[in-house]
Amino acid sequence: MASSTNKAQPKTPRALLALLAVFAAALALSAVGLGMLARERASAPAPSAIGGPFALKTGDGKTITDRDLLGEPFLVFFGYTHCPDVCPTTLAQISQVLNDLGPDNKLKVLFITVDPERDTPRLMQQYAGSFGPNVIGLSGDRAAIDKVMKEYRVYARKVPEKGGEYSMDHSAIIYLMGRDGKFLHAFNVQRPPEQAAAELRPLL
């Protein structure tokens, strides 16, 4: 009696097929996610895109430009003198860091107004000077302020209040700029001043 030569072919278990399908879907989703991440990174402003040339007025009538600051690191903070909380609080924190650096430190801090209609150069000088001799208040006409705000990617808008008054809603980033005038990173003062000063000291 002849024996059968036909053998049953092995079948792929359904569980394995399902696992392969899930794996393929995961790969597809990963590819989509990586593509989205790449697009987000490409659209985000690079650090080199922050900062640029400016010419603003001090309280004594002098003009300070970005070229005047080359050779030393400096901090930049935008705000306004009528600010009820964020600006004076942040400037006070910066002042504590300057004190921790010692009386001989030459780190300059530029406090640039986002409200030039009310903040004259003289008013900015008086206000900024109350936080220390290294804090320099700067103002200018609306065109000059709009230009420097655009260069530093600063957000600011008027918020109407009663009686025809207004406040300014604005971003509150402290920009740490290097000796070459290029943006290094946002400087954090939400920590003990000695820690913040320790980060700055090697740059001075």
Span 159-169, pLDDT tens digits: 999 989 999 99
| pTM (whole model) above 0.85 | no
Confidence (pLDDT) at 173:
97
Give Cα 183 distance to the centre of its chain.
9
Q: How far apart are CA 51 and CA 61, in angstroms?
A: 23
Place of tokens 């640039």: 112
Confidence (pLDDT) at 59:
96
- Structure confidence at residue 8 as a pLDDT band (50, 70, 90): very low
Confidence (pLDDT) at 35:
43
Asked if residue 170 is part of any domain, the answer here is yes
Q: What type of residue sits at position 121?
A: P
Confidence (pLDDT) at 175:
98
Q: How far apart are CA 41 and CA 201, in angstroms?
A: 31
Confidence (pLDDT) at 47:
61
Q: What type of residue sits at position 118?
A: R
Confidence (pLDDT) at 41:
41
**Which CATH number goes with the domain that contains 176?**
3.40.30.10
Confidence (pLDDT) at 189:
97
Confidence (pLDDT) at 199:
96
Asked if residue 183 is part of any domain, the answer here is yes
Span 41-95, pLDDT tens digits: 443 455 668 999 999 999 999 999 999 999 999 999 999 999 999 999 999 999 9
In this structure, are residues 35 and 28 in contact, taking their beta carbons and an 8 Å threshold? no
Which residue did the predictor score with more confidence, 25 or 173?
173
Asked if residue 148 is part of any domain, the answer here is yes
User: Structurally, how many domains does the chain consist of?
Assistant: 1
Asked if residue 139 is part of any domain, the answer here is yes
Beta bridge partners of 77: 111, 174
pLDDT, averaged across the chain: 84
Q: How far apart are CA 36 and CA 29, in angstroms?
A: 11
Asked if residue 55 is part of any domain, the answer here is yes
Asked if residue 147 is part of any domain, the answer here is yes
Which residues have C-beta within 8 Å of that of residue 6, sequence separation ≥ 6? none
Range of the domain at 151: 50-203
Beta bridge partners of 75: 109, 176
Beta bridge partners of 56: 64
Asked if residue 83 is part of any domain, the answer here is yes
Asked if residue 23 is part of any domain, the answer here is no
Q: How far apart are CA 11 and CA 122, in angstroms?
A: 87
